[in-house]
Amino acid sequence: DAGVTQSPTHLIKTRGQHVTLRCSPISGHKSVSWYQQVLGQGPQFIFQYYEKEERGRGNFPDRFSARQFPNYSSELNVNALLLGDSALYLCASSFSPSGGLGDTQYFGPGTRLTVL
Protein backbone atom coordinates (compact mmCIF):
# COMPACT_ATOMS: atom_id res chain seq x y z
CA ASP A 1 0.00 0.00 0.00
CA ALA A 2 1.73 3.17 -1.19
CA GLY A 3 2.13 6.09 1.15
CA VAL A 4 2.27 9.77 0.32
CA THR A 5 4.75 10.49 -2.46
CA GLN A 6 6.41 13.77 -3.36
CA SER A 7 8.58 14.95 -6.22
CA PRO A 8 11.23 16.04 -6.71
CA THR A 9 13.29 14.90 -3.73
CA HIS A 10 15.73 17.75 -3.95
CA LEU A 11 15.73 21.02 -5.86
CA ILE A 12 18.20 23.87 -6.22
CA LYS A 13 16.98 27.22 -7.53
CA THR A 14 18.26 30.79 -7.63
CA ARG A 15 16.56 33.86 -6.25
CA GLY A 16 13.68 35.15 -8.37
CA GLN A 17 12.96 31.80 -9.97
CA HIS A 18 9.74 29.83 -9.76
CA VAL A 19 9.28 26.29 -8.44
CA THR A 20 6.55 23.64 -8.61
CA LEU A 21 6.39 20.82 -6.08
CA ARG A 22 4.15 17.79 -6.49
CA CYS A 23 2.35 15.45 -4.10
CA SER A 24 0.31 12.28 -4.50
CA PRO A 25 -1.83 11.34 -1.48
CA ILE A 26 -2.52 7.92 -0.06
CA SER A 27 -5.12 6.11 -2.16
CA GLY A 28 -8.60 7.03 -0.89
CA HIS A 29 -7.46 10.23 0.83
CA LYS A 30 -9.18 13.36 -0.43
CA SER A 31 -7.38 16.05 1.55
CA VAL A 32 -3.85 17.35 1.03
CA SER A 33 -2.00 19.81 3.24
CA TRP A 34 1.29 21.56 2.60
CA TYR A 35 3.84 22.52 5.24
CA GLN A 36 7.17 24.35 5.27
CA GLN A 37 9.78 23.05 7.70
CA VAL A 38 12.81 25.22 8.28
CA LEU A 39 15.79 23.43 9.83
CA GLY A 40 15.35 23.09 13.59
CA GLN A 41 11.69 24.08 13.62
CA GLY A 42 8.31 22.40 13.47
CA PRO A 43 6.30 22.24 10.25
CA GLN A 44 4.43 25.46 9.46
CA PHE A 45 1.04 25.18 7.74
CA ILE A 46 0.80 26.66 4.24
CA PHE A 47 -2.39 25.28 2.63
CA GLN A 48 -5.04 22.63 2.98
CA TYR A 49 -7.13 21.36 0.08
CA TYR A 50 -10.13 19.08 0.17
CA GLU A 51 -12.09 17.91 -2.85
CA LYS A 52 -10.15 20.40 -5.00
CA GLU A 53 -11.14 23.39 -2.88
CA GLU A 54 -8.89 25.42 -0.61
CA ARG A 55 -9.98 24.80 2.97
CA GLY A 56 -7.28 26.68 4.83
CA ARG A 57 -4.38 29.03 4.27
CA GLY A 58 -1.49 29.79 6.59
CA ASN A 59 0.41 33.02 7.07
CA PHE A 60 2.42 32.91 3.85
CA PRO A 61 2.72 35.58 1.12
CA ASP A 62 0.80 35.47 -2.16
CA ARG A 63 3.94 34.14 -3.85
CA PHE A 64 2.78 30.76 -2.53
CA SER A 65 -0.12 29.10 -4.31
CA ALA A 66 -1.46 25.58 -4.67
CA ARG A 67 -4.09 23.53 -6.35
CA GLN A 68 -5.59 20.05 -6.15
CA PHE A 69 -6.47 17.95 -9.15
CA PRO A 70 -9.46 15.62 -9.76
CA ASN A 71 -7.30 12.63 -8.79
CA TYR A 72 -6.55 14.43 -5.45
CA SER A 73 -2.89 14.98 -6.23
CA SER A 74 -1.63 18.48 -5.56
CA GLU A 75 0.92 21.06 -6.62
CA LEU A 76 2.54 23.79 -4.58
CA ASN A 77 3.91 26.75 -6.54
CA VAL A 78 6.28 29.37 -5.23
CA ASN A 79 7.09 32.44 -7.33
CA ALA A 80 9.92 34.97 -7.02
CA LEU A 81 11.97 32.71 -4.75
CA LEU A 82 13.81 34.26 -1.81
CA LEU A 83 16.75 32.86 0.14
CA GLY A 84 14.38 32.43 3.10
CA ASP A 85 12.24 29.99 1.12
CA SER A 86 14.95 27.36 1.53
CA ALA A 87 13.32 24.60 3.55
CA LEU A 88 11.86 21.11 3.53
CA TYR A 89 8.39 21.22 1.98
CA LEU A 90 6.14 18.52 3.32
CA CYS A 91 2.88 17.25 1.95
CA ALA A 92 0.43 15.40 4.18
CA SER A 93 -2.70 13.53 3.18
CA SER A 94 -5.82 12.67 5.15
CA PHE A 95 -9.22 11.26 4.41
CA SER A 96 -11.00 14.43 5.49
CA PRO A 97 -9.92 18.00 6.34
CA SER A 98 -8.75 19.10 9.79
CA GLY A 99 -11.33 19.14 12.53
CA GLY A 100 -13.35 16.15 11.44
CA LEU A 101 -13.16 12.42 11.88
CA GLY A 102 -10.65 10.92 9.50
CA ASP A 103 -8.40 13.95 9.64
CA THR A 104 -5.28 12.09 10.73
CA GLN A 105 -2.46 13.36 8.53
CA TYR A 106 0.28 11.20 7.05
CA PHE A 107 3.36 12.87 5.69
CA GLY A 108 5.32 12.37 2.52
CA PRO A 109 9.15 12.33 2.45
CA GLY A 110 9.30 16.01 1.53
CA THR A 111 11.09 18.09 -1.09
CA ARG A 112 14.30 19.78 0.04
CA LEU A 113 14.40 23.20 -1.67
CA THR A 114 17.61 25.21 -1.65
CA VAL A 115 17.52 28.77 -2.94
CA LEU A 116 20.89 30.28 -3.83
Partner 1 sequence: GENVEQHPSTLSVQEGDSAVIKCTYSDSASNYFPWYKQELGKRPQLIIDIRSNVGEKKDQRIAVTLNKTAKHFSLHITETQPEDSAVYFCAVTGFQKLVFGTGTRLLVSP
Q: Residues interacting with partner 1, by CB under 8 A? A: 33, 40-45, 48, 55-56, 58, 90, 92, 97-99, 103-110
Minimum CB separation of residue 102 from partner 1 in Å reads: 11
Q: Is 14 or 44 the residue whose CB approaches partner 1 more closely?
A: 44
Q: Is 45 or 64 the residue whose CB approaches partner 1 more closely?
A: 45
Q: Is 19 or 91 the residue whose CB approaches partner 1 more closely?
A: 91
Residue 31, beta-bridge partner list: 50, 94
Minimum CB separation of residue 55 from partner 1 in Å reads: 5
- The SS3 of residue 85 is helix
Contacts of 85 (CB under 8 A, 6+ apart): 78, 113, 115
Give the number of other CB atoms < 10 A from CB of residue 12. Answer: 12
* Amino acid identity, position 19: V
Minimum CB separation of residue 24 from partner 1 in Å reads: 14
